[in-house]
Structure 1
Amino acid sequence: MADENCTEVTQFTFSGLTEHPQLKPILFVLFLGSYALTLVGNLGLIALIKVSPQLHTPMYFLLSNLAFLDICYSSTISPKMLLDLPTKNKVISFAGCLTQFYFYAVFATAEIYLLAAMAYDRYVAISKPLLYEVVMSSGVCMSLVAASYLAGLLNAIVHTSALLRLSFCSSSVINNFYCDGPPLFVVASTDTCLNERLMFVFVGFNMMATNLLILTSYACIVVVMGRMGSAAGRRKACSTCASHLAAVIIFYVSATFNYMQPSSTNSLGRKKIASIFYTIIVPMLNPMIYSLRNKEVKNALSNFIRRKIILNIKPLSFFFTKILGFRDGA
């Protein structure tokens, strides 16, 4: 139990990413560029899916929700981190810390469940192409998205409620650049055994449940591909899954490394590096992964650009035709 005479902290101080003055401007530029690319890439992907009729399919409905989640959970961390990076005192209030942790837990958890739902979508598309639109109806897609958000809300409520029972008296310096469970456990003055067990159980269940669904879906996909008669069909199936599989591997490896280890001062430095990958790098890479390796997205983008060019050229051509016609008549 914490000392009854101790004074509860009202704010925390982040240790940040680095204390080297020479590295701070470099990191600021790099992470500002990463965050800008995250916003532009994901917002652009959402807009392209909305305006392109050929992308109005279950796969791209789920992908637009993934892009939205990338924007949300990156925005709970990156703006505060960028503001803190050039400053010496990286302070956040106790309420602000819990709020940041809550929303981060909601969006990050929802993302792993949505990635699992996308794996199931790929299995249906490859194994039952003729029934794809029927099986993955709008109602099913909405249910999968809603279930992902409900899982995120439940996970965030459990961990945030557990954090409220802790006392923080001896230290207010968090060895991280945002509020997360393991760094907060280290500076808590009360026993964090329950919090660590909840973290291990809930994060472990979320990881195992979603991993099981993803692995099962891809195992079934491999079986279906083995039964395909043509090499072209197998290549098309591989191309369909490659983007999703790349996003899953990057996200899960870094998240597993961060959460499925005991909290300790020695491991926080390594966890901080892993956190950079799935809070800053992954949201930036996802729209690139799904755009550069996806012919449908590239075709939709080229068609959209051509339509815009034609719409801009028509008024000009009409104007010049009128002018020239007027001069000829004169």
Structure 2
Amino acid sequence: MENWTQIFVTEFIFTGFHITRGSGIMISLLLVLMYVSTVASNLIIIVLVWIDHRLHSPMYFFLCNLSFLGIWFTSTIVPKLLSSFLLDNSISITGCRLQCFFYFFLGTTEYILLPVMSFDRYVAICNPLRYAVIMSSRVCLGLALVAWVGGFVSVFSPYFMILRLSFCRSNTINHFFCDAASLIHLSCTDTTLLDLMVFVTASVVLISSFLLIVVSYVYIISSILAISSAEGRQKAFSTCTSHITVVTIAYGTALFLYAKPAKTDSFNLNKTMALLTSVVTPLLNPFIYTLRNKQVKEAFVDAVRKSRLSQGLEKDWDS
């Protein structure tokens, strides 16, 4: 039997990445640039969809949800990561628990939202004549609520068990944020059930949502192949390429990070993959969805043009 010295933990210390202070400053500047770009690009999409009637459709409504998720998700990690590099690498136990909750709640919500978005593409391509009827405002709102509520319900039980953990080994977290695996690793409580619950929850969410996406795209590809003209097939497929790219990135990283027992050790690799999902992916998503999207580009150009025109009129009025 192992004997642990009981300690009263009021805060945790992040070890983060083992780098020099000079490197930390350089990385912090890069993180600030990426964070500002992430928030700005996702916020631009939300504003454009809000103000431009051409973007008032189910696809862009769900894209707004994804953009909002991206802002909230990266804001859960990056500000504290910057603080750890430049100021203080500690976090209160309450702050740690909240960060852990929002990281997994928002991450799970995204993996439920992605099959919802694939269903939207399925209806648009396989049932174009009934698209407006099937994807009504009420249905879209309901599907979005399913994603958000589903994310909350999925993580509630594991998170409740995390709240009950006691710590008697150390208060040093070998990571740059509070994730479940790190807290489980520090706990002196029997975490067998929690390990299993985290593994099962992550696996069920990932596998079930991925299968729904696969089924949707089986029907989508079948419908696209049935289109007689090459131009029609290319146009139909182009509406799905952005979503396929995001799905590939999201599930590729998530399968590595979560679909394994929580105590499986490979912390340095875990840190790298977590940094990718929390910083890089939310930055890439808006660009992936807009680079080949003519409607969003036109809406952005029109918004910039109207803004310049408004500024010109204000200057003329002041003069």
TM-score by length of 1: 0.91
Q: Secondary structure of 1:12's partner? A: strand
Q: Distance in 2 between matches of 1:126 and 1:78?
A: 38
Partner of 2:222: 223
Partner of 2:204: 205
Shift of 1:68: 0.6
Matches within 5 A, 1:160-239: 160-239=159-238
Contact (CA 8 Å) 1:17, 1:85: kept in 2 or not?
no
Q: Distance in 1 between matches of 2:209 and 2:256?
A: 16
Q: 1:319 to 1:124 in 2, by over 3 A?
A: same
Shift of 1:248: 1.3
Contact (CA 8 Å) 1:119, 1:244: kept in 2 or not?
yes
Partner of 2:258: 259
- Percent identical pairs in the alignment equals 38
Partner of 1:66: 66
Partner of 1:325: none
What do the CA deviations read for 1:131-173 (whole angstroms, capped 9, x no partner)? Answer: 1111111111101111111111112321211112322111111
Partner of 2:294: 295
Tell me, yes or no, if structure 1 residue 116 matches structure 2 residue 106.
no
Residue range with higher mean Cα deviation, 50-59 or 264-273: 264-273
Matches within 5 A, 1:84-123: 84-87=84-87, 89-123=88-122
Contact (CA 8 Å) 1:120, 1:217: kept in 2 or not?
yes
Equivalenced residues, count: 319
Shift of 1:4: 8.6
Contact (CA 8 Å) 1:200, 1:260: kept in 2 or not?
yes
The amino acid that maps onto 1:47 is: V
Contact (CA 8 Å) 1:255, 1:275: kept in 2 or not?
no
- Larger Rg belongs to: 1
Q: Secondary structure of 1:118's partner? A: helix
Partner of 1:44: 44
The amino acid that maps onto 2:53 is: P
Contact (CA 8 Å) 2:4, 2:168: kept in 1 or not?
no
Q: 1:258 to 1:236 in 2, by over 3 A?
A: same
Q: Distance in 2 between matches of 1:37 and 1:217?
A: 32
Shift of 1:316: 6.7
Partner of 1:20: 20
What do the CA deviations read for 1:282-309 (whole angstroms, capped 9, x no partner)? Answer: 1111111111121111111122223334
Q: 1:20 to 1:313 in 2, by over 3 A?
A: closer
Contact (CA 8 Å) 1:106, 1:152: kept in 2 or not?
yes
Contact (CA 8 Å) 2:5, 2:168: kept in 1 or not?
no
Contact (CA 8 Å) 1:186, 1:265: kept in 2 or not?
no
Q: Secondary structure of 1:166's partner? A: coil
Partner of 1:77: 77
Q: 1:18 to 1:225 in 2, by over 3 A?
A: same
Q: Distance in 2 between matches of 1:19 and 1:53?
A: 49
What stretches of structure 1 of length at least 5 have no aligned partner? 321-330
The amino acid that maps onto 1:246 is: T
Contact (CA 8 Å) 1:12, 1:94: kept in 2 or not?
yes
Q: Distance in 1 between matches of 2:129 and 2:195?
A: 47
The amino acid that maps onto 2:242 is: S
Q: Distance in 2 between matches of 1:85 and 1:17?
A: 9
What do the CA deviations read for 1:21-79 (whole angstroms, capped 9, x no partner)? Answer: 33211211111111101110111110011111100001001101110111111111111
Shift of 1:257: 0.7
Q: Secondary structure of 1:17's partner? A: coil
Pairwise CA RMSD: 2.0
Partner of 2:146: 147
Q: 1:314 to 1:13 in 2, by over 3 A?
A: closer
Shift of 1:5: 6.4
Q: Distance in 1 between matches of 2:8 and 2:313?
A: 68
What do the CA deviations read for 1:87-115 (whole angstroms, capped 9, x no partner)? Answer: 4x511111111111112222111111111
Partner of 1:326: none
Q: 1:183 to 1:316 in 2, by over 3 A?
A: closer
